[in-house]
A = this chain, B = another copy of it.
Amino acid sequence: MNEFELIDRLRPGLPGNDTTLVGAGDDCAVLDPGLPGRWLLFKTDAVVEGIHFEPSTDPARIGHKALARCLSDVAAMAGTPTHAVITLALPSPFDPARVEGIYAGLNALAARHRVAIVGGETTTNPERLLISVALLGTVPRGRCPLRSGARAGDVLLVTGTLGGAVRSGRHLDFEPRLEEARWLADQFEVHALIDLSDGLARDLRQILKASGVGAELWAEAIPISPAARTEPGARAAAGWPAPLVAALTDGEDFELLFTLPATRAGEVEAAWAARFDRLPLSRIGRIRAEPGLVVRDRDGVRPLTLDGYVHFQQP
């Protein structure tokens, strides 16, 4: 059983209540406690030494990454983050300078997005550092793109370039696409939106599953990052070249993947280029009514059997 199968098994048993609009299963929970004009967003995420960063990683970059991952989930709801609480589980003995470095990274990113850090629990995790962040945010009522909104005929768009984020170190420094996501949802009818944490193939499948649709990706349109362009040939798989495999399956890109009506695609692209001239936006495929995920390249169309990054896997 892997992480995703475990979550699928647990989800139906979770208790709900009448102020919960979206529970576990999207990038954030969506709550309606009665805030005029807005819904609340609620999310938690964690990073673990040896898995999401190394013992030698600069502490400020660890802190940055821990919070940025949660901020990226709020971006995936086109929301605005507001308040965070931090659980720091520290090896014993702990190094106070390392903890202060982590908080330097957390605080700088939080301040840049006007997020208040309003609580910090510390505990012991003898063998390795673990940081769990919980984040609150808001989104205008009725303006929150979910994973479940994709429709046949939508185009698929992605920001930035994909692949190699861990190898290049970008996973420690990425800037969550908060402003971009809010701009998109403000201006256009975004049907479905997700942030890419587990790799394009796997995260796109989350949209397809939640929306009950399929998709066709266009191999030559997928934006491959500079790091992924130098992937060693050994990563080639299922007939795909190594750089494309990296762009399809590497985790931790934290770019936005979204769908909207094909009729609006040209307009979005033009407005995007005028507004965010340093961040590419690529039209990489389309949503189809037929289930499944296929890739089209110059040789034709075939099913995508590659999968993305799995945080843990069990035989």
Closest B residue to A69 using CB positions: B121
Q: Are B1 and A96 in contact (CB under 8 A)?
A: yes
Once the chains bind, are A125 and B125 in contact (CB under 8 Å)?
yes
CB neighbours (8 Å) of A114 from chain B are: 15, 17
Q: Does A36 contact B (CB under 8 A)?
A: yes
Q: B89 near A46 (CB under 8 angstroms)?
A: yes
The digit string for A254-298, where 1 denotes a CB below 8 A from any CB of B, is 000000000000000000000000000000000000000000000
Chain B residues, Cβ within 8 Å of A116: 14-17, 19-20, 23
B29-A119 in contact (CB<8A): yes
Q: Which of B15, B47, B51, B118 contacts A117 (CB 8 A)?
A: B15
As for how many copies of this chain the complex holds, the number is 2
A64 in contact (CB, < 8 A): no
With beta carbons under 8 angstroms apart, the residue of B19, B29, B35, B90 that contacts A85 is: B29
Query: For the complex, is A93 an interface residue (Cβ under 8 Å from B)?
Result: yes
Q: Which residues of A from 123 to 159 have beta carbons under 8 Å from B?
A: 123-128, 130, 132, 134, 136, 138
> Which A33-62 residues have C-beta < 8 A from chain B?
33-36, 38, 40, 42-48, 50-52
Contact of A9 among B3, B100, B312 (CB under 8 A): B100
A36-B34, A82-B19, A118-B31 as given contacts; A103 in contact with B13, CB under 8 Å: yes
Tell me whether A29 and B118 are in contact (CB under 8 A): yes
A314 proximity list for chain B (CB < 8 A): 92-94
Given A33-B138, A34-B35, are A120 and B7 neighbors across the interface (CB < 8 Å)? yes
Closest residue of chain B to A112, judged by CB?
B15
- The binding surface of chain A is classed by DSSP as mixed
A86-126 interface code vs B (CB 8 A; 1 in, 0 out): 11011011101001100100010011001111111111111
Q: Are A127 and B130 in contact (CB under 8 A)?
A: no
Given the complex, which residues of B lie within 8 Å of A96, measured CB to CB? 1, 6, 9
Known: A33-B138, A116-B23, A314-B93. A123 touches B48 (CB 8 A): yes
In the assembled complex, which residues on chain B have CB atoms less than 8 Å from the CB atom of A52?
A: 123
Cβ–Cβ < 8 Å partners of A35 in chain B: 33-35
A234 at the interface (CB under 8 A from B): no
Q: Are A117 and B24 in contact (CB under 8 A)?
A: yes
Q: Does A311 contact B (CB under 8 A)?
A: yes
* B20 and A83 contact, CB distance less than 8 A: yes
Contact B45 A89, beta carbon cutoff 8 Å: no
Indicate the member of A93, A94, A118, A311 with the most B CB atoms within 10 Å: A118
State the CA gap A7–B89 with chains docked (Å).
13
Q: Can you report 22 A-B residue pairs in the complex whose CB atoms are below 8 A from each other?
A: A6-B99, A9-B96, A11-B120, A14-B103, A17-B82, A17-B116, A19-B83, A20-B118, A29-B118, A33-B82, A36-B36, A44-B121, A85-B134, A87-B132, A89-B130, A89-B132, A90-B312, A92-B314, A123-B311, A125-B125, A126-B128, A130-B130
